[in-house]
């Protein structure tokens, strides 16, 4: 699985372009991000809630790479950050272009969540 790149509003993974935020599972399966789990609590999808964190996490995940958007606007809530730490899952976040590089270079039990706009 290789993330080819991203532009504002899209991300291309293994030659397929997605026009929405994505979650890449341990298996490599690409899913649409369930940002409504966070938006219903915060009124924005720019803060990851505990409920979304619980959905994102999978047993065996040791690394979560978060693409925070082209301008870096997405962040984890304190509760989400604490949840991942409690699971022994390191979180690395960076604006999406840099996070793509980090994801492509990482190996092992990794999950990726990429915000494709701001």
List % helix, strand, coil for the chain (3-state, nearest 5).
30, 30, 40
Q: Distance (Å, rounded) from C-alpha 43 to C-alpha 47?
A: 9
pTM: 0.96
Going from the N-terminus, what domains does the chain have, and what CATH number goes with each?
3-114 (3.40.1230.10)
Q: Which residues contact 40 (CB under 8 A, 6 or more apart)?
A: none
Q: Tell me the pLDDT tens digit for each residue of 58-75.
A: 999 999 999 999 999 999
Q: Give the per-residue pLDDT at 59.
A: 96
């Amino acid at each position: 699985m290789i993330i080819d790149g991203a532009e504002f509003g899209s991300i291309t993974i293994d030659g397929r372009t997605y026009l929405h935020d994505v979650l890449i599972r341990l298996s490599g399966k690409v899913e649409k991000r369930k940002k409504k789990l966070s938006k219903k609590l915060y009124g924005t999808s720019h803060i990851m809630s505990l409920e979304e964190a619980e959905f994102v996490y999978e047993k065996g995940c040791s690394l979560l790479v978060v693409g925070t958007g082209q301008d870096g606007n997405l962040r984890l809530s304190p509760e989400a950050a604490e949840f991942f730490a409690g699971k022994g899952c390191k979180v690395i976040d960076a604006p999406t272009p840099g996070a793509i590089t980090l994801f492509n270079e990482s190996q092992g039990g990794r999950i990726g969540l990429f915000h494709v706009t701001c």
